[in-house]
Structure 1
Amino acid sequence: MDSLKSLSMTQAALSWVSKTGAFVPTPSTIRNSISKDPKSQFPAESGRYHLYISYACPWASRCLAFLKLKGLQKAISYTVVKPIFERTKETDQHFGWVFPSSSTEEAGAEPDHLNGAKSVRELYELGSSNYSGRYSVPVLWDKKLKIIVNNESSEIIRMLNTEFNEMAENADMDLYPSHLRARIDDVNEWVFDAINYGVYKCGFAIKQGPYDEAVTKLYNSLDKCEEIFAKQRYICGNELTEADVRLFVTLIRFDEVYSVHFKCNKKLLREYPNLFNYTKDIYQIPGISSTVNMEHIKKHYYGSHPSVNPHGIIPIGSNTNYFAPHDRDRFNN
């Protein structure tokens, strides 16, 4: 990696670090909603919306997981970016998500046939002349109005769960059911802070204190999950919910990336019997495995964070078989 590119990508990563050396994420800012109400500004219509995602990004991957679980592939199209950050414009030093120039350039990624954009940054600039936030994925795009509807994954998955049921193949699947919402919200809160973002707090900490605090909270929460899964199949009981999808996207990346790249090495996922079997269980749900591209995941993390991995070397990894048998269906008896 050339020194200028390395410096620019390092500066991008360090922009999320506070003066105390702790990782502080930047919130999403485009927060419009799609509604089943045909009179709304963004009505749920088959063929109108498009998702831009990265297989590498856990936040984008959970949107793709909902798309597959609900059976919305015919109603909502999607495009996958390349895994490693590249320069998004020749006029400045910004590096971010880009599209391949052809369908054969990067396996699993494809050009932006919808808008002809070269990068996700261009999508934001197409959709808004005064946008000043991060050029992140996922992007939920309105083909009709040619603007971004929403770039907050936690809100996108809720829309996919309920607003497109008239065109969903699995309309009866409710991943945020009313009788479990309080429990789901509670689980989401501590999983998000300690696990989903906890691994990032470990990986991007630039001082020992913030790392120690984050890694302690991370493993306390993983231990808590291990205890929960000793008693029930899913995180909120014996019913699959959005909380499981949100937890899964971090767990599936844990041994291959976070344990090495983000210094989360106190204990591997596969050393937790219940957590490991739980991850295999979720992975084997129809549609979920197609949202996991470990090649993209490893290329992105090890190749896009020179402040953490300056030479971009990708470790060989464990090549874990997540299709191996698990024992989680015992809770259905």
Structure 2
Amino acid sequence: MSCTSLLGPVLPIPARKSIRKTKPTPCHVSPRMSLQPLPPPPNPSLFTTITKLLWGQSLPPQLLISTVRSTWHATWQLMMSQLAPSDPSGRYTRPPSKFRANFKPTQFSRQKPGTLHLYVGLPCPWAHRTLIVRALKGLEDAVPVSIASPGIDGSWEFKDTGGRDGDRLVPGLDNANRRRTLREVYRSRRGGYDGRATVPMLWDVERKEVVCNESYDIIELFNSGLNGLSGNSDLDLSPPALKGRIDEWNRIIYPNVNNGVYRCGFAQSQEAYDTAVNELFNTLDMIDDHLGSSRYICGDTLTLADVCLFTTLVRFDLVYNVMFKCTKKKLQEYPNLHGYMRDIYQIPRVAATCNFGAIMDGYYKILFPLNPGSIRPIMPSGCEHEVLSGPHNRELLSSVDKSMRVYVS
């Protein structure tokens, strides 16, 4: 899966005609002091004055309210059709990734470092998967990264943000193609491309070609297809003995949790929302119960299934609980899920991939149809680094016999 341009294609803006600049005439103002009281504040805006004249301190007339509401609803539906395509029942339908893996698992194992380049956006949970596996496998030098940020129109763009935030990743420039937007990178491939410009995207620097923009294909490649370039080639997040269990869990986690939160937030009918939110929390309840006797999803071993679940969980109280109406419970109310999330967060190199400020900005300030005021709420205290770094005691689940395992909080 991947994160797309948030509000669809952007129409080109006609170039302005050049205007001859004239040298400004200097203006010299002599300062002066006064003991007189300051002038009164400016009068209220014209709009406020008119509304008070029309209906005083009462609410606007019912006709005006109903007209504005109808207009806003029609506009909302138009924007949501671009942001989140739905079926006739109002259920969000995620478009498939365009560039799927069509390469052999070991095709890039003998390539020199820098042949592949990763494009990501920090708010996107699908891109976050690739950053975590890249870090755990020690591929930072072998696969350089360019980090886009969502522009005001929702498309991914590259801009200089002034460097790093400690050890955490931050948005920056396009280090591979020196393009201004991700859409321009896609268009620069051989044959061009005018479809959805999504992250994550893996780019072949030498061939100037999109290798893949499906997140799960990319993390499988990073896990086992680049061991010749990996700094941690012994780590296997999808060992053959667990492959079947990983796939089985992903068939549960992806539709109901990873995509489930989007099905809640992007639902365009009450029925679609009710179905999605019930499936989401029924699944979270089931996983929380399972994690009461298992340190990770598939036992004592961290796998790709854990990586995929983690990137949704770490955003849950930050964004999905509030903005996507996943309000039945906070993640903190799940004793095992919350401890499990903290356990993974504390694995070396994982926390550096979590930029909570960028995540919150990417949702609250950009997804205009869901948050028209673009006001970013304060970060929940349970999501602060100091809290996530606290003891979780989940290592006890790996060190005692199954019959003695306990539920931890």
Using the size of structure 1 for normalisation, the TM-score is 0.90
Q: How do residues 1-333 of structure 1 correspond to structure 2 at under 5 angstroms?
A: 10-11=79-80, 13-33=82-102, 35=104, 37=106, 40=107, 44-82=111-149, 84-87=150-153, 95-100=154-159, 102-104=160-162, 108-319=170-381, 320=383, 321-333=387-399
CA distance in 2, matches of 1:202, 1:18: 14
1:19-75 CA deviation, whole Å, 9 max, x = no partner? 2111100010112455465xx589643221110101110000100100000001111
Aligned equivalents of 2:90 and 2:294: distance in 1?
A: 38
Deviation at 1:132, TM superposition (A): 4.2
2:148·2:158 contact (CA, 8 Å) conserved in 1? yes
The alpha-carbon distance between structure 1 residues 128 and 308, as it changes in their structure 2 partners (threshold 3 A), is farther
Contact 1:52/1:79 (<8 A) preserved:
yes
Q: SS in structure 1 opposite 2:188? A: helix
State the SS of the aligned residue for 1:166: coil
Indicate conservation of the 8 Å contact 1:56/1:296, yes or no: yes
Higher mean Cα deviation, 318-327 or 167-176? 318-327
Letter in 1 for 2:354: V
Aligned-pair distance for 1:248? 0.1
Letter of the 1:18 counterpart: D
Q: Which runs of 5+ in 1 are unaligned?
A: 88-94
Distance apart, 1:79 and its partner CA: 1.0
Q: Percent identity?
A: 38
Q: Cα 1:186–1:329, aligned 2, differ >3 Å: closer, same or farther?
A: same
Q: Residue in 2 aligned with 1:90?
A: none
Deviation string 1:158-191 (CA, Å, 9 cap, x unpaired) is 0000111122111011001100111000100110
Q: Distance in 1 between matches of 2:345 and 2:333?
A: 18
Letter in 1 for 2:129: R
Q: Which deviates further from its counterpart, 9-18 or 139-148?
A: 9-18
2:406 equivalent in structure 1: none
Gaps of 5+ in 2: 1-9, 12-71, 400-409
Which deviates further from its counterpart, 277-286 or 309-318? 309-318
Alpha-carbon displacement from aligned partner over 1:254-307 (angstroms, at most 9, x marks no partner): 001000000001000000000000000000001111111101110011112111
> Which range is displaced more, 259-268 or 115-124?
115-124
State the AA in 1 paired with 2:137.
K
Please tell me whether the aligned partners of residues 141 and 149 of structure 1 are also in contact (alpha carbons under 8 angstroms): yes
Distance 1:135 1:264, change over 3 A: same
Distance 2:190 2:91 in 1: 31
Cα deviation, residue 127, structure 1: 1.3
Q: Secondary structure at the match of 1:68?
A: helix
Partners of 2:296 and 2:330 lie apart in 1 by 20
Match of 1:91 in 2: none
State the Cα distance separating 1:131 from its structure 2 match.
Answer: 2.6
Q: Quote the RMSD (CA, aligned, Å).
A: 2.3
Of 102-111 and 316-325, the range deviating more from structure 2: 102-111
SS in 2 for 1:171: coil
The AA in structure 2 aligned to 1:288 is V
SS in 2 for 1:52: strand
Higher relative contact order (CA 8 A, sep 6+): 1
Alpha carbons of structure 1 residues 139 and 172: separation in structure 2 relative to 1, 3 Å: same
The letter of the residue matching 2:392 is: H
Tell whether the 8 Å contact from 1:13 to 1:305 is kept in structure 2 after alignment.
no
User: How many positions carry a matched residue from both structures?
Assistant: 319
